[in-house]
Structure 1
């Protein structure tokens, strides 16, 4: 599969594609795990996943509240309309609720594991299969699409991380796997990609810590969380956003409960060969960057340095 070089951007009227890899050069953005995709991090490997049942709750719950609110406020105007709104809302929400409930009873998908000492990536597949993919062959791109309507401009986007099956004899339907993160594209996608790139190319300290997947389990957690937010937002905005909107509009307590139920602890890779593959190596056995990547990173870092230096107009 042909992929444009890292650093390439393709723009159209209502879309934009930014390519970050292969040859994972710096994007210029600070790594930020805004969607809690990091499940584990240590000196050897980083586990990444796009699985988030809590996000599904926080997307669907506002829609439920909208239908209930419209039905409630129209009940005295026309009871038939109020009832029809409830029926219509139930029809719209039923598939999403069904798949959400179904997801609660399914096994949590395994994470993708990035091994920085071997410079390889373990990609779990179906039926106990897994791929070991060279880090420098991984592709990454952010795609962003916009639409314009009477309500204004709406933008959606993904971070797409691609892996090629290293088996040359693999069937056509088992040649490629993509991990998509619904982040809106753009700079957010860059920040998420930098979590992986910085970990692999700089070190564990350069990447954010793993998400607190056991968070939200007590009242003490919410108090500490809101106190921390109040330091930057103030208590009025914190109570409005985290309290009123977070609880009643997005139902954050339910989202965090389900997330904790499914991901505490997060699933691990238990293949015997991968357990061995995930063990630390002596530093002298660590894999090195390719000369091509070394040159590409040096060139990109020089470009970023030039961009940050003030222009001399004298």
Structure 2
């Protein structure tokens, strides 16, 4: 999507685009939040010492939950039809066939939904940031070729929109919606070319926190980076289960009926509930589905040029902040201290 602008955007500017408010955070990404964000940045897929991959937030992390929801629907409809067919004490063949047909329809719908999510996500490719080169890379929407953009020239802004919802009684309502967007401004045509749109939040500060997570990775030492939750996959599930079981075995003060939802290893009750829940939701299948989705739609291999660009550099070759950036950052920090 391209948006015409009368002049080049600057951090701190605000204007109306297509009738909706916009607040620019960059170019020159000097603006930062004084405190740690409230929520872990879900839009970050993974990062290491060199690169950070930016995804689509909850859309990339919800497949395990959605799979459990489908399993719950299978249980629910299966129980309803079996109970209806056994009203006279036995399950007749018609009720059995209807149960199988309905469960097959639910499974087919789930598979079609999974395929549609994969196709839709592949149209919104992952963005990669390289802190040593001070650049980011994204795939061009038309050609699919990688484009490399200097970090200090990236246009970041929060876009105010409208999200549709419904009340508990089904009455439609409209809510404010704020999303982080990334773009390139090209002076020769005066257009702002958007290449990334994050998920929307009703609270504008959550979008600012997402930007802060990216900025800290690119600008600050590792000890200031924000914690990123691991992606939900089968390997992570097995690791977390082993760690939980080891904590439970080594806990000398285990209780029988104590409930602590932050640490299941403190009692027999919560450990039993943990294992029962995962057995009823088919153990690691939801995480396997999530891993398939990530492999097919999210973590697809980068072209060779990007793989080479992502390799670590000797520290002597790291790109350095520009003089303009350093002056703007110093001025911003002085303003913050004055406040």
**TM-score per shorter chain, which class?**
0.5 to 0.7
Asked whether the 8 Å contact 2:53–2:126 carries over to 1, the reply is yes
Structure 1 runs not aligned, ≥5 long: 11-15, 307-314
Q: Partners in 2 of 1:301 and 1:17 — Cα distance?
A: 24
Q: CA distance change for structure 1 residues 258 and 277 in 2, over 3 Å: closer, same or farther?
A: closer
Q: Where in structure 2 are the equivalents of 1:163-182 lying within 5 Å?
A: 163-164=183-184, 166=186, 168=188, 175-181=193-199
Task: Output aligned runs, 1:266-277, within 5 Å.
Answer: 266-272=299-305, 275-276=308-309
Q: Tell me, in whole angstroms, the C-alpha distance in 2 between the residues paired with 1:124 and 1:194.
A: 23
Q: Quick check: 1:221 aligned with 2:240?
A: yes
- Indicate conservation of the 8 Å contact 1:26/1:301, yes or no: no
Which position in structure 1 is the counterpart of 2:26? 22
The structure 1 residue matched to 2:329, chosen from 270, 278, 294, is 294
Q: In the aligned structure 1, how far is the partner of 2:238 from the partner of 2:220? A: 38
Say how many residue pairs are matched. Answer: 295
Distance 2:332 2:279 in 1: 45
* Equivalent pair of 2:159/2:179 in contact (CA under 8 Å): yes
| TM-score normalized by the length of structure 1 | 0.64
Partner of 2:126: 111
Distance 1:246 1:300, change over 3 A: farther
Partner of residue 312, structure 1: none
Q: Greater Rg, structure 1 or structure 2?
A: 2
| Root-mean-square deviation over aligned CA pairs | 5.2
Distance in 2 separating the partners of 1:247 and 1:194: 39
Instruction: Give the alignment's TM-score, normalised by structure 2.
Output: 0.60
Could you tell me whether the CA contact under 8 Å between 1:142 and 1:159 is conserved in 2?
yes
Equivalent of residue 48 in structure 2, options 33, 41, 45:
41
Confirm or deny that 1:199 pairs with 2:232: no
Q: Which residue of structure 1 aligns with residue 287 of structure 2?
A: 256
Q: CA 1:65–1:118 in structure 2 vs 1: closer, same or farther (change >3 Å)?
A: same
CA gap 1:221/1:92 in 2 versus in 1, 3 angstroms:
closer
Query: Residues 292 and 62 (structure 1 numbering): CA distance in 2 closer, same or farther, change over 3 Å?
Result: farther
The unaligned stretches of length 5 or more in structure 2 are 87-93, 249-258
Among 159, 164, 168, the alignment partner of 1:150 is: 168
1:215 and 1:165 mapped to 2: Cα distance?
37
1:196-217 deviations in Å (ceiling 9; x for gaps): 0111222333224665459643
- Does the CA contact (< 8 Å) of 1:21 and 1:140 recur in 2? yes
